[in-house]
Chains A and B, each alone.
Chain A
């Protein structure tokens, strides 16, 4: 317990909000316990990835007695493993680009104009976010087979557009509505053409929103597996699906599974580090 108290000290600084002095300690301890609760399962996975299978199955050890990188070495030297990472990152990047390129003009239209059926269209878009991926699994398989996209990263990228585009439009609309319309009008009077205005003046003003929308597209495309697995077999198989390979006749290869899992956490951690200052507002989807 003393470790978590020490951690509370490190984590917590005097808050601007008024907090009773006696309650402050309790809340620091609570936060520390929450962070500990978040950290322990991840620690256990990383810990397991550094052990040999013999050590994993022969008893409980709180840290690896003989740390080994063998599990990671196997992943990085076997192309059927590391190509999974490349596939995943390819369709995630494709999806983020497609979603943002399509959502930017649409969000601009929603934030700046009234037009026939605008409200209905907006809610229809959002309703796609509410469709369970399980519903789409079967028709997607047939649709993408029919158009010859099956087992390509593009198929997964397009499939993920169903939930990412509505979200991107929603976020960007929130950020764009925060930019006063007078700016558009002034630019038009100053003789800027629309594309010129959009790229040179408007985009820098909503750069934070674009980052946040991109972050969310990355996030939901990276974590989704049901559709990604349904739409791929060999060539575009995501890493998260490759992980199921660790079940073999000789039983579970826990160390390898843990190493593969640990590696899937890293891209997310890197992305979070870059956007950490915008996370809080971003999670409120630009609406605070």
Chain B
């Protein structure tokens, strides 16, 4: 329907940013997980795209630059890491153990559950890195032979589901330390979880942020080795 690619690019970029700004306002008034901008914005865009008969390839060409902004956002994490250096120095062995355990459980359960539910191999590979935040997960997924785009969507779903389930889980688990409560959200629900953890407490929030970054780094560094092992033995 668009004759001018520049006009098309402007239209979809403006629609994405505009819907996001509106959804953020809504979330400020109504802070529930189902009103998260990450759920509302894509839903609005989907309706618009279906009405205009737009395909994913057309849409993503116009808005790929937004995904690229995850690069500078990753660089930005240097600031909170630097600010939390005292916590890191004190708790690094515990955080490393937690991130390692969480990553093994995440990949193991994704593999077993995908197998049990009869999902295709590429779906399974795309599910594996869903517990780390998107820029990391998309890299890992590409390495493993999954689809980075599908992974990005699974990551987003994991964040939403994890953040809403996490608060319920806190009431069942006998967690006595703030570090454990923070790790739960950082490992299980990355970005969305960090926002939730910040609402519970300052220490929980900063630990969640740290665990999220460590998990992403650890998984990216481990991915080439894991890809090699999977090709060899699976």
Determine if chain A interacts with chain B. no
